[in-house]
Amino acid sequence: MSKLGNIGARLYRGEVGYDFIGKRKIWYGLSILITITAIVGLAVRGLNMGIEFSGGAVFTTPKTSVSASQAQHQAESAAGGHQATVQKLGGGSGGPLRIQISGLDTKQALPVQEELAKDLNVQVKDVNTQLVGPSWGEEIANKAWLGLGIFMVLVVLYLAVAFEWRMALAALVALIHDLTITVGVYALVGFEVTPGTVIGLLTILGYSLYDTVVVFDSLKEASKDITKQTRFTYSEIANRSINSTLVRSINTTVVALLPVAGLLFVGGGVLGAGMLNDISLALFVGLAAGAYSSIFIATPLVAELKSREPQMKALTKRVQAKRAAAAAKEADQEGPRADAEDVDAEDADGAAVVGPRQQPASRNRGRGRPSGKRR
């Protein structure tokens, strides 16, 4: 942990860093590939819409020894060919069943309930039945789309006012990126889309925006009065902002993913809670995609849009000119220094071949006297 804290402090001070902005084309290509895969999965497999959106009936049985596959076959036979989805609730082989049959109306539900009770060897009164009409499901879907649209508009307006329109546009692209990947994963996995899924999608949008706004706030503070200096370009300051908040984003995402993973793999996989599957899968995929998009998509896109401004282009030219002048000055200083070193070397070589060294005059004063002493 101390090493991680030391790395985080060095990233914050700008002593070390990774060039996220310079390699943005790699992240763009990876995101496009993932997004295309999600869209293809959505187009080929489609979403498994729950009865809350498509209409139908849900039957919840008491504990039974009948397997989920047998119950599915019996439910489809009792429903006259309507598609059925069966889920075992709770662990073990003797748990209750949740049987969902789409397209059933009120008149068809009662005979199906009686037939299921007979096939599963349980009492008819013990089979709980819930009916959802297709009009109600359509209304829920329309409200979900309306809520998502209002959320997007409010987010764009807030970011445009609090920051600038380029950051609002980049955040919107990142949100669409996260939603597309999450919905594509739902299609590929085959999980049922329920109101819990909508709740999860709206929740991950908030998490995605949290990381994005943290980086944007750091970038806004660091780029204040940027045109009055010639040390860094806008892209370099954006890269420093990502690195300074990188450890915080990773820590926040990991801490958020751990309980969501518990819900997904323990609550949904082991305990068999259907609603937990719907919410936790959306949260798990969305949190990971949101952390990725805030670092690799949103901020590099802002830097690219901002660098196209005339002021930022002029700043880049001034920074490059200053660096070129500094490099030329350093090269000029290296030339005389090298010449001086060569002269010193030649003097040293000449001193090595000179004849007998001349003695100081003071050493010859006593010579020629008998005692050789000085008077």
- On the 0-12 / 13-18 / 19+ scale of CB atoms within 10 A, 295 is buried
Contact 204, 287 (CB under 8 A): yes
Query: 123 has which bridge partners?
Result: none
| The pLDDT value given to residue 302 | 92
| The pLDDT value given to residue 26 | 92
| The pLDDT value given to residue 36 | 93
DSSP string, 109-164: HHHHHHHHHHHHT--GGGSEEEEE-HHHHHHHHHHHHHHHHHHHHHHHHHHHHHT-
| Structural domain harbouring 281 | 2-49+136-317
| The pLDDT value given to residue 7 | 59
> Residue 147: helix, strand or coil by DSSP?
helix
Residues 117 and 177 in one domain: no
From the list 250, 223, 242, 251, the residue with the least C-alpha distance to 298 is 242
Q: What whole-number distance in Å separates Cα of residue 316 and Cα of residue 326?
A: 15
Residues 236 and 298 in one domain: yes
Query: 56 has which bridge partners?
Result: 102, 132
Chunked mean pLDDT (size 10), the chain, 375 residues: 56 67 90 92 84 80 80 81 75 72 77 82 81 72 81 87 90 90 86 79 80 87 86 90 84 84 69 65 86 89 90 90 87 66 52 47 49 44
Q: Are strands 128-132 and 56-60 parallel, antiparallel or unpaired?
A: antiparallel
Length of the chain counted residue by residue: 375
Residues 121 and 152 in one domain: no
Contact 122, 64 (CB under 8 A): yes
| The pLDDT value given to residue 356 | 47
- Structural domain includes residue 361: no
Contact 49, 193 (CB under 8 A): yes
Domain count, the chain: 2
- Structural domain includes residue 322: no
Residues 233 and 121 in one domain: no
